[in-house]
Amino acid sequence: MLIDQYAMEHGTLVPFLGKPANTVRTAAGLHYKTGCSVIFARALLEKDNSYRIEIEEGPALDRSAGDQEGFISACQKAHNDVLTRWITAYPEQYFGWFHRRFKDTISYQ
């Protein structure tokens, strides 16, 4: 599931790369409702034009408090934090700027 895209009216504003960004709620919502594991995968383009696939377990979050909105927001932030770490480590690999993640962020407080 691609979470680094503009979510239109289906997302919520959560920090990403140090700025508020409209963030997809689907992965966080499924994680809350099912307790499923979250994993991240990325494909890094190597100099020989092959790809190195890396898989990372998502951050563990406590959903026992019963606060669905709070959990989803914390989960979205944790997911965006992983993406931020990856992007800052390999900025040349990230091509997602055309998704306009930072559109509609004026109302973020």
Amino acid at 69: E
Nearest Cα residue to 102 out of 9, 1, 23? 23
* Alpha-carbon gap, residue 2 to 49, rounded angstroms: 23
Model-level pTM?
0.80
pLDDT of 107 > 60? The answer is no
The predicted structure's pLDDT at residue 96? 59
CB 75 within 8 A of CB 68: no
CA distances (Å), origin 38, targets 15, 46, 48, 51, 95: 19, 26, 30, 22, 23
Across the chain, mean pLDDT equals: 83
pLDDT of 72-103, one tens digit each? Answer: 999 999 999 998 999 899 988 887 555 566 66
